């Protein structure tokens, strides 16, 4: 499971940290406000009060070892928050954190974060913390249609580990508790003599799946997130 750091525990950051932790991820929550740390301490793996513009302080808490960091510092109207957020993103990139996401309150600030190396910019007024938590936990899941609370129909690109294996070989339902509904052939699978057409509406046990096929699968969001990524 990936390790996350959520830096800045305002309304969005706090919801995101808790949602990630509830999905089973290891989460380090960071804020300068002691009250925010106390409120979330029991809901994440580790909560620490520090100044995220201090690179050495971040390293001392193992932030340089996380897979993904989300900078959720509020920018406010004074400019101090925006400056702190920029310095934090720069610190994280310099420390070698593979993916750094930055929360932004407007497109202009978002452009700045992109220019200094943020992997992607989050606009919380548009997108929910819960959606982002799922996107970070399960990047292999494409479009998702919710048909009941906690249950979805989703598009998943077949990973390399599925290549040239039959539905029976993979035992998707038995191993992952999700149902394979349909298959859309990717470039690798097109033109195979064993299959006719690009869409297979009713996959059979002997249907072969190829790398990069698009799989339509249904199940709980928790089970969908456990599907392999490679």
Q: How many independent structural domains does the chain possess?
A: 2
β-strands 68-71, 3-7 pairing: parallel
Note the pTM of the prediction, 2 decimals: 0.65
Q: Do both 174 and 62 map to the same domain?
A: no
Condensed to tens digits (0 to 9), the pLDDT of residues 119-128 reads: 999 988 766 7
33-79 pLDDT per residue, tens: 999 999 999 999 999 999 999 999 999 999 999 999 999 998 764 56
Burial of 71 by CB count in 10 Å (0-12 exposed, 13-18 middle, 19+ buried)? Answer: buried
Query: Do 130 and 184 reside in the same domain of the chain?
Result: no
Q: Determine how many CB atoms are found less than 10 A away from the CB of residue 82.
A: 19
Pairing relationship of beta strands 46-49 and 26-31 according to DSSP bridges: parallel
Residue 54 shares a structural domain with residue 157: no
Domain limit, last residue, from 121, 137, 153: 137
Other beta carbons within 10 Å of 155: 16
Give dist(CA 132, CA 23) in Å, integer.
12
Q: Structure tokens of 150?
A: 């906690």
**Does residue 153 share a domain with residue 96?**
no
User: 16 lies in which domain range?
Assistant: 3-137
Give the pLDDT score at 132: 80
């Amino acid at each position: 499971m990936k390790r996350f750091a959520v830096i800045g525990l305002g309304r969005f950051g706090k919801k995101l940290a808790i949602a990630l932790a509830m999905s089973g991820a290891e989460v380090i929550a960071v804020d300068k406000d002691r009250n925010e740390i106390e409120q979330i301490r029991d809901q994440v793996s580790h909560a620490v009060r520090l100044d995220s513009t201090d690179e050495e302080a971040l390293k001392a808490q193992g932030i340089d070892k996380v897979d993904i960091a989300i900078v959720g510092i509020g920018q406010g109207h004074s400019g101090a928050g925006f400056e702190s957020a920029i310095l934090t993103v720069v610190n994280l990139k310099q420390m070698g954190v593979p993916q750094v996401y930055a929360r932004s309150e407007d497109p202009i600030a978002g452009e700045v974060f992109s220019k200094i190396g943020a992997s992607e910019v989050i606009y919380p007024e548009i997108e929910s913390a819960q959606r982002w938590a799922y996107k970070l936990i399960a990047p292999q899941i494409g479009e998702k249609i919710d048909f009941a609370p906690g249950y979805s129909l989703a598009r998943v690109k077949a990973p390399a580990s599925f290549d040239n294996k039959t539905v029976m070989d993979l035992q998707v339902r038995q191993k992952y508790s999700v149902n394979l509904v349909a298959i859309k052939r990717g470039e690798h699978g097109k033109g195979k003599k064993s299959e006719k057409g690009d869409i297979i509406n009713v996959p059979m046990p002997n249907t072969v799946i190829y790398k990069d096929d698009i799989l339509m699968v249904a199940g709980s969001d928790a089970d969908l997130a456990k599907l392999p990524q490679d």
